[in-house]
Amino acid sequence: MRNAKQIRMTKEQNSKQYDLEDRTLAFAKEVRQFVRNLYKDIANIEDGKQLIKASGSVGANYIEANEALSKKDFVMRIKICRKEAKESRFWLRLVQTQDPVNERKRKELENEATELMNIFGAILRKSQ
């Protein structure tokens, strides 16, 4: 039988899990809105497509990690989350903005991608 401390810790872990699911979902949605507001030239269109794919993949792989069948599977999915966050940051650095509002949003999203990379990196260190 589990004691009160174990139950509290499990609830806290589940809360953090869902917070990170929500955070990665919000990141993907914000990226999509950002891409909609970019000026349309061939480079931004192509880079925007890649950015949308990578940003959505962060959260999708995090959900997969939480449903992992083994620790090895969990670690692999978290590594993919970190990789996709890093890739999102790359595409955010590559897209061109025309105005200060979009540039500010690009920097915010770049910072969020970096924070997500760091979070997944910390999860990896604790899991190995």
What percent of the chain clears pLDDT 90, i.e. is strictly above it? Answer: 85
Residue 9 confidence class, pLDDT cut points 50, 70, 90:
very low
Q: Which domain holds residue 89?
A: 4-127
SS (H, E, C) 21-90: HHHHHHHHHHHHHHHHCCCCCHHHHHHHHHHHHHHHHHHHHHHHHHCCCCHHHHHHHHHHHHHHHHHHHH
CATH, residue 54: 1.20.1440.60
Give the whole-angstrom CA distance, residue 124 versus residue 75: 6
What's the pLDDT score for residue 7?
A: 43
Number of domains in the chain: 1
* pLDDT tens-digit map of 34-77: 999 999 999 999 999 999 999 999 999 999 999 999 999 999 99
Q: Say if residue 8's pLDDT is above 50.
A: no
Average pLDDT over residues 7-35: 78
